[in-house]
């Protein structure tokens, strides 16, 4: 039966091939049908560095029950501080030595060293950090211009687009490792149980990323920096098919603030919001789930002064369609206090426009 089926199948393939004007079994193996990452890889790899961190940790004091010990050393015993080593990756973004990495890579560091692909080493100065976006900025002083990457516009990134992840998975031994994948999703957030406010609108890819890749580059096929690799979701601690990167537009604005002001100046809208679900779509007779539903507006906030009210659905800022709560966070984060933007929102089945003048009050989300 197998032989009969096989012959019938081959006959069908041959018939289809003849109808198409091509011999049976022919395949187009042109190189044009395959993605070529050689330019992006060769252009980018030297701008991605290994980051070595030395930090000092100190244990919490604890009590000793031995009376003799307590007589000599007191009621509390504080062990001596200890040094720990950590590592990650970083990306050179200017020829004069600015390097971007993750805040969690350099958090608590007393000494930071970066290592280039040619094994050149430089002591790095910490310019500033932003735990809200998990971005940190370093500076090194080199004798000559350094290789660097230009920023891409992460808003232009498309689902299914090829990207490369470059970094040092598992340590210096694998420095400059390049993996490829596609953009699996945009505007992702991942569980965070610290209770701290975070701005998360991650690019999700299936490019292999492992511990040590944190702070490394996510680049486009044209060799531009479109994200900073930050996290994986895994039950084993190693890559299981998902990796997440901070979009370049968030990184670019954060870095610009750290260079100019030494801190991040973040615009605030002043709303409590929730995602638009099917219930809200049905109740408000919306045409789609785009936008965010405004639960509450803080009195005197930028949103209040722009005329937004509880029950409105904010759908657009400066021509950018708001598709989720994380997308709104990302977009508002691109402004500074004092900036203004045109907004579009739905109220009572009608669409309205207004101008919001962003302020710097405490965020309400």
Give me the DSSP letters along 235-261: SSSS-SS-EEEEEHHHHHHHHHHHHHH
Burial track 261-274 (b if 16+ CB lie within 10 A, e otherwise): eeebebbbbbbebe
Half-sphere exposure of 114 toward its Cβ, with a 13 Å CA cutoff?
32
Spatial distance between the Cα atoms of 297 and 311, rounded to a whole number of angstroms: 10
Q: Is 134 annotated as catalytic?
A: yes
Q: Is 104 annotated as catalytic?
A: yes
* DSSP character at residue 209: -
Structure tokens at 15: 């018939």
Q: Are 294 and 311 in contact (CB under 8 A)?
A: yes
Q: Is 282 annotated as catalytic?
A: no
Structure tokens at 335: 């402004």
Structure tokens at 223: 């060799």
Q: Which of 87, 89, 154, 214 is catalytic?
A: 214
Separation in Å, CA 154 to CA 157, 293, 330, 355, 356 = 5, 25, 11, 25, 24
Q: Which of 87, 89, 130, 134 is catalytic?
A: 134
**Residue 352 CB neighbour total at 10 angstroms:** 13
Q: Are 244 and 227 in contact (CB under 8 A)?
A: no
Q: Which of 43, 46, 104, 120 is catalytic?
A: 104
Residues annotated as catalytic (active site), given as ranges? 104, 134, 214
């Amino acid at each position: 039966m197998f032989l009969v089926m096989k012959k019938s199948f081959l006959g069908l393939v041959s018939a289809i091939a003849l109808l198409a004007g091509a011999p049976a079994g022919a395949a187009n193996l042109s190189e044009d049908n395959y993605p070529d990452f050689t330019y992006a890889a060769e252009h980018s790899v030297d701008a991605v560095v290994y980051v070595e961190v030395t930090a000092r940790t100190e244990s919490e004091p604890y009590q000793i029950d031995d009376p003799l010990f307590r007589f000599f050393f007191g009621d509390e015993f504080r062990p001596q501080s200890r040094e720990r080593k950590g590592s990650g990756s970083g990306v050179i973004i200017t020829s004069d030595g600015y390097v971007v990495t993750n805040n969690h890579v350099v958090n608590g560091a007393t000494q930071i060293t970066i290592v280039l692909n040619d094994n050149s080493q430089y002591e790095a100065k910490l310019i500033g950090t932003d735990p809200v976006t998990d971005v940190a900025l370093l500076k090194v002083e080199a004798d000559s211009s350094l290789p660097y990457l230009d920023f891409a516009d992460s808003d232009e990134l498309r689902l299914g687009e090829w990207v490369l992840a470059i970094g040092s998975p598992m340590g210096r031994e694998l420095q400059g490792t390049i993996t490829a994948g596609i953009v699996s999703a945009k505007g992702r957030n991942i569980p965070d149980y610290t209770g701290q406010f975070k701005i998360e609108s991650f690019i999700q890819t299936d490019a292999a990323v492992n511990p040590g890749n944190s702070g490394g580059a996510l680049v486009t096929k044209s060799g531009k920096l479109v994200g900073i690799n930050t996290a994986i979701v895994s039950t084993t601690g190693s890559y299981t098919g998902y990796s997440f990167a901070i979009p370049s537009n968030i990184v670019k604005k954060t870095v610009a603030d750290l260079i100019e002001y030494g801190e991040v100046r973040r615009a605030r809208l002043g709303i409590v919001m929730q995602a638009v679900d099917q219930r809200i779509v049905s109740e408000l007779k919306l045409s789609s789930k785009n936008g965010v539903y405004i639960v509450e507006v803080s009195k005197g906030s930028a949103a209040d002064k722009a005329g937004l009210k509880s029950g409105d659905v904010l759908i657009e800022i400066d021509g950018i369609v708001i598709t989720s709560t994380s997308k709104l966070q990302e977009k508002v984060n691109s402004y500074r206090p004092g900036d203004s933007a045109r907004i579009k929102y739905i109220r009572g089945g009608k669409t309205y426009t207004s101008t919001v003048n962003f302020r710097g009050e405490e965020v309400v989300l």
